[in-house]
Structure 1
Amino acid sequence: MTLLCVTANAAIDKRYHLPRVRVGAVQRIAQVHADAGGKGINAARAARLHGAAVVASGFCGGFAGQFIASRLRDLGVRDAFVPVAGESRTCLNIIDAAGVSTELLEPGAPVDAADVDRLRSRFAELLGQVDAVTISGSTPAGCPDDLYADLVSSARSAGLPVVLDAGGAPFARALGARPSVVKPNRDELAAWRGRRLDSRDDVIAAARALRDAGPESVVVSLGSEGALAVTAGRTVLAHAPVVAVSNAVGCGDVLVGVLAAGLAEGLDVVAALRPAVAAAAAAAAHPRTGVFDPQLAASFEVPVTTVEES
């Protein structure tokens, strides 16, 4: 099985560890870790750790882009990025001694119409070489709002399952192209719905409404509660294992990568959800963003409760 993981707005993810964050003061960082990042790259890394072959595409530019591509190649992920003139972004995750995380996300260098056309062409060329697709994260300035809709439509026309994990106008425009799965978290689902989701019933109702907008299935990541899946046949809750959380950033991306790997194997969404939730829990226990121990993930039991059948 081979996945194509698209990250339009790739990044260098830097993680800073310091005793506490003091606004307006000079501070020295105790530890610094840098890695290739962006939601789709985290998904690609997770799928690779899960055992899938992975091709990564999107936009990469400058020295930062070279670093991102080299880190992925070190993992055995094939580099199919479209090079652009600007410098790929850097995103910061600042973690204090209490484990509180503060993220600073750069917008990314803008791209032009020619760059977008090259990405569309590269994507179309790769579809015949893969078994499933993930499309994740934000788009840089210069991308049309219908880019993800076009990519989803192309992949679906090629008979491939597509997992979409994005937000804003690119996400909304892509719903009508009927992605196989969309994967918001609770806050993203609330933003799409335009209201607070205070209870599990609120989350279920919003997820059903989102599914009615076009996607075949909706998977909502709920952190320590696990993940809710709304499909054509039923609504289920996959319960997350209890772990000592080290770094929760990127766990939803891990879920996407392993879920898509399951779809590439021919599993249905509910069957693919169990190892995906296990991997996301193992990622929360790992200090690095979007990384997990496959043996730990395989040791977890993930009970699934049926909420409703139709």
Structure 2
Amino acid sequence: MTGPVKVAVLGGTGFVGRAVSSALIARGHEVVAVARTPRPAAEGASFVPLDLAAAGRDRLAATLGAQRVGAVVNAAGGMWGLTEAQMADANVTVVAHLLAAVETLPARVRVVQLGSVHEYGLAPLGKSMPESFTPEPVTAYGKLKLECSNLVLDAAARGVADGVVLRVGNVVGAGQPGHSLLGVVAAKLLEARSRGQAELTLGALVSLRDFLALTDAAEAVAAAVTAPGVAGEVVNIGTGHAYDARRLVTMLIDASGVPTTLTEAPAPGPETDWQQMEIEKAATLLGWTPRRSLADAIADLWAAAVAETDAAVAETEVDTDR
């Protein structure tokens, strides 16, 4: 594909979906956000309400056909606060319905599946994970995401979808989910702002992960929508560096400006919880490399959290004055 296309972003009102929609619109694509939750879509995107897990093949096919899309980005799914059965519906069921739906469309469409670094599981400390790394997920979420990826790759091999899987690292940015570590810490810091002092007690912050700025992840997805020669490929999207969770929490405390006492539980033993991806393939196939620092991404996270909180407080004060 070359030039602008109409793109359906499944989960387009979510944390990643909104950012992906904005990146696509900036490249000149027309975007329709498809989601159950009627949160605001990205500026310039249209919105179609649809419960993706409940919708079967025919309903989803009718929606995509009516919109005449040339590509679909699957940014739906989730793990935070969900049971394993709910995760299966939100991830595997949605992908199965999507692939069955696009197979009925008159023209083959590009399907960009947002996979996860957690599909790989863990690597030996210090070892990077290329796309050829044998996936051995250790969490229920990772296993389900791997199942989704395999469904997309199988559909691409059968020629029923122009499918590509992006294995995305741990994303950080504005709108961070409240159940995530940084979402929880941000909420505690927001609560402590008025007191001028925060006290945080957290578990051992020793896990080393490949973290990635939300806007960089969105740019990679936007590039994959029209990149040639990616059908049937798995592409890592990360920074190529592992950062410990303590460093990110400290960055968020610094961004907040709230004086904080951080108490961390002792690590149970030597650190072996490590994920770091190789990202050269993304540069070759997508022309993409990460550009933003994690400090910038965390500054975005904090600014958005403050703006949302202050807006809610102002709205409450207006309602009280009426």
TM more than 0.5: no
For this structure pair, what is the TM-score category when the shorter chain's length is used for normalisation? 0.3 to 0.5
Pick the structure with greater CA Rg. 2
With structure 2 as the length reference, what TM-score do the two structures score?
A: 0.42
TM-score by length of structure 1 reads: 0.44
